[in-house]
Structure 1
């Protein structure tokens, strides 16, 4: 529409208020749309954020819990405790970064029928393993990490400590400190603080979590297992003249040193007869056991046994010098020797001698008969 010009008015000098108002009005209309546009953009962003979360939730619903691809890196020790639940294992494994999520481990365990038989122990794993691979490790008891130590029959405490220190990560001093406090590892009261004879000889599988006190406690526990149903205090009191548990174990240690197999109950009987018969059945009550003399000398070297043996040492363990039992066990008897001391054979023997390299042992009740066997004992073994 054309604007009118008043007569004599120069258009170039006409005020622009009306036009300015129109421009202002148009400007106001544009600025009113901007907040709406911003709101629309923000709403779209929020909607997109929620949509992305929903899509992620749906994806997780169908893809399952987070899991690593494996096979993993590094080394991680994980201890499964007795009675520990699968969920608890999963939580611990997630914390150790072995698995990506506890749920992944729980699902993998549920899919493996052997997971109900996971055994307590220490297992070597890796970080960032696939949960199913972790379950495969834990269901195999062969994967339990252990240190195997074998203690032979007849070993003394000193020899046992040397063996443990050599084959574990602990020093002799650490074991000796524990031995100085026998109440810590369950030594029976009747041992009177002396562990000799009560650290049972066997093959042990120690876990990385086992400390010296745990190892020694397991050995004492195994000794108590070797007693079986026998009440050593009651059985000892009912034997012959009556024996304390410490004396029964001393007999067992002597039997371990002197015999083997089926001969052990007979040797136990011969020892008891020397202790109980008048004049020791002709032996003056002297047990005359070489191994006890060697124990007194602190060696197992039989070349040290030079006659007269009664003069080698004044130790009460010298059974050629002092009648009766020595003060305590001379080593760790095995189960057969312990049972022989608790259940000796019936017989009147007071002498025994091994006559050949096959280990044939002859028993006799008289010195005359014993000397006859000794006369044919010429085997060099």
Structure 2
């Protein structure tokens, strides 16, 4: 029997006011119980969420504190070969994404930690293709990328003095991009950054150098980069834009005529002396064999034939006074510098008396030049296959 039942039995029903007080007391006790139950449930839920959050955020917290969870990294050393391409301008974040996608590292975080530990080496990572392994320890993968010896690149080497068709052929052979793609790109000279003075022609504007192009780099992008380097070299030599075509034309003749750097500035002076004196010994004609070779598009022989020198081409400097319409090849930095800054001297003539060694002799008078030409002819008699 409860206390309430006992009270009722002994004293009878309590008065109405007492009943109301008892009911209010019971409701308060019930409300407190419900609130306590709700609080207990909330604690359980929050505790569970905290456990889940800790599990998810533990790697991040570990990274922020400078540590690295073993679960974030492969133990290494890895197996199998996988090629990873680092593109020019790739950030550490981009490289981490590439490595994770290739299965080289387990997480981006692991690689980024290794990279952050050596920022100088990280900044020096070069574009190229690297052969790594799947399942590598992130620090080992980073060390491989930071060592330039592990980099494989597609290198296209363009020597000085080549004609445009020769450059296209070399680029195509090195990169796998069809020659037709270069020819098509050349038809949009404005997109390649050519100045107006070039009159839409690439001759002379494809800078000779070594380039790291592959078949994923469009032909137009390759040619644009080469043109940009030529313009940079002209600016470096102090050439004004309105002189670009003139200086490149002279530089290309120097490139076609000279082997040794020591003679380039002197040949530039010979060209200027002939141009500046239309009544001089050559009556304003340059009389350069290199321009005739350009007309014929033939290499391998010194000198020119009488038939070739009678060509009506505007590039035939044996018949046309002044400079040809434009460059005849792509000159290098040394020839551009020489054309922009000729040596001082009275020379009107020069001849390579030994084309094999490049030995060149300069003269002021026709008589001196004739003696040098005889020396060249003697060399030709001894080397008939080269003349």
1:325 aligns with 2:323: yes
1:370 aligns with 2:369: yes
Point out where structure 1 has 5 or more consecutive residues left out of the alignment: 1-45, 237-243
* 8 Å contact kept, 1:76–1:127: no
Query: 1:85-124 alignment to 2 at 5 Å?
Result: 86-112=92-118, 115-124=121-130
Which SS does the other structure have where 1:302 is aligned? Answer: coil
- Cα deviation, 1:256-292, whole Å, max 9, x if unaligned, reads 111231111111111111111142x211222111121
CA distance in 1, matches of 2:215, 2:313: 41
* 8 Å contact kept, 2:207–2:332: yes
Which SS does the other structure have where 1:206 is aligned? Answer: coil
Match of 1:9 in 2: none
* 8 Å contact kept, 1:82–1:119: no
* 8 Å contact kept, 2:157–2:210: yes
Residues 263/100 of structure 1: CA separation in 2 closer, same or farther (3 Å cut): same
Residues 103/327 of structure 1: CA separation in 2 closer, same or farther (3 Å cut): same
CA distance in 2, matches of 1:170, 1:207: 8
Residues 164/271 of structure 1: CA separation in 2 closer, same or farther (3 Å cut): same
User: RMSD over aligned Cα, in angstroms?
Assistant: 3.1
Match of 2:287 in 1: 288
Residues 67/350 of structure 1: CA separation in 2 closer, same or farther (3 Å cut): same
Match of 1:269 in 2: 269
Match of 1:210 in 2: 217
Which SS does the other structure have where 1:196 is aligned? Answer: coil
1:374 CA drift (Å): 2.3
Which SS does the other structure have where 1:167 is aligned? Answer: helix
Q: Between 188-197 and 123-132, report the one with greater CA deviation.
A: 123-132
Which SS does the other structure have where 1:194 is aligned? Answer: coil
Which SS does the other structure have where 2:306 is aligned? Answer: coil
Residues 83/58 of structure 1: CA separation in 2 closer, same or farther (3 Å cut): closer
CA distance in 1, matches of 2:100, 2:135: 9
CA distance in 1, matches of 2:367, 2:57: 97
Match of 1:258 in 2: 257
CA distance in 2, matches of 1:64, 1:136: 19
- Cα deviation, 1:99-143, whole Å, max 9, x if unaligned, reads 211121122224446543343413334443321222112212333
1:354 CA drift (Å): 2.0
Which SS does the other structure have where 1:361 is aligned? Answer: strand
- Cα deviation, 1:228-247, whole Å, max 9, x if unaligned, reads 5334227x7xxxxxxx4212
* 8 Å contact kept, 2:84–2:98: no
CA distance in 2, matches of 1:81, 1:163: 23
Match of 1:354 in 2: 352
1:334 CA drift (Å): 1.0
Which SS does the other structure have where 2:212 is aligned? Answer: strand
Query: 1:10-49 alignment to 2 at 5 Å?
Result: none
* 8 Å contact kept, 1:122–1:208: no
Residues 303/139 of structure 1: CA separation in 2 closer, same or farther (3 Å cut): closer
* 8 Å contact kept, 1:114–1:139: no
Match of 1:171 in 2: 178
Match of 2:140 in 1: 133
1:249 aligns with 2:255: no
Q: TM-score, normalised by structure 1?
A: 0.75
Match of 1:66 in 2: 72
CA distance in 2, matches of 1:264, 1:118: 37
The structure number with the bigger radius of gyration is 1
* 8 Å contact kept, 1:349–1:364: yes
Point out where structure 2 has 5 or more consecutive residues left out of the alignment: 1-44, 63-67
Which SS does the other structure have where 1:353 is aligned? Answer: strand
Q: TM-score, normalised by structure 2?
A: 0.74
